[in-house]
Chains A and B, each alone.
Chain A
């Protein structure tokens, strides 16, 4: 009898020393610590803790939170992999699917988005509107006007931003673009005129003066019979004349690119600031 007790004690002590991995590291505590890190937005640490936790058993909420942690850190493709594993989950399949679409959208994998969206017959109606918004936003951000219909756009987003959206839509046709060809022709006629056309007035005047002075020097030297100097300045004048034509064409390109860039950054800032008009993922702490 006594022997048995000793054995039990020994076993208990053994079990204790085996579990000597601190109580702090048991699965329950690991989970609560991980949740805390998640709330602190310390996502990489939370992610590691959740993964350790999963070694003890399956938990779909944990997998969901892992996917959110990854997405928050910008690791979208890994997040998408985790999202996919939850499609069969009882409680979280809808949410996981929505996060899946969101991650595809945020990582700019629009073709995949469209493919799944068109073949998916299980999209809940309350999420439908948000998916529609993602699609329209990505069309808007890719600046393909022919894909877009203003009425559809206005209908999909809150009424309060109708003016901003209309403004973006109008800017998409770039009414103020400059024609590079025209800029080149202007500069060929009068040096610097092309730059004036692309609204670089200072550069235009400088180009005019530079070519003018070099031409004057060339003519003056020929008149004074300084042949060598005459040809030198002729060459320089021709070089800068050609350079200015090239510069005017490239200036028109730059002007147009700047229009696109400013629209791009305006739209991005606007949508980013408003979280793309999509609700935040579940479980995220404020």
Chain B
């Protein structure tokens, strides 16, 4: 089936938008990064450790305020060799995006994995450690990447 169609061109001007976010979890996490620490919150009831740590436990639906520091070493949980960007364009230097479960955390952190030469030799379960930027300033980017140990 076909029909005559036409495109109407207009603008989508919503001007600047504002979005109120909860600062607690992000603030705690980036403050820790500045001091080269990985901080989260632990639920006193079920023991779940969230990194970054929200101020409530989604399992128990209660407020949590116990701040915990977790290890800077952990386990490679899953990874993908990124050969293209989100638009499908090939990237010149393939990199590995991964999820890591740091020892003592029940959450996964996402980042770039380094320390490999042939991605075929990278296996889930390998030990990794956090590598910091030379200068940390209290931003998510302070955590440079994960390195295979």
A binds B: no
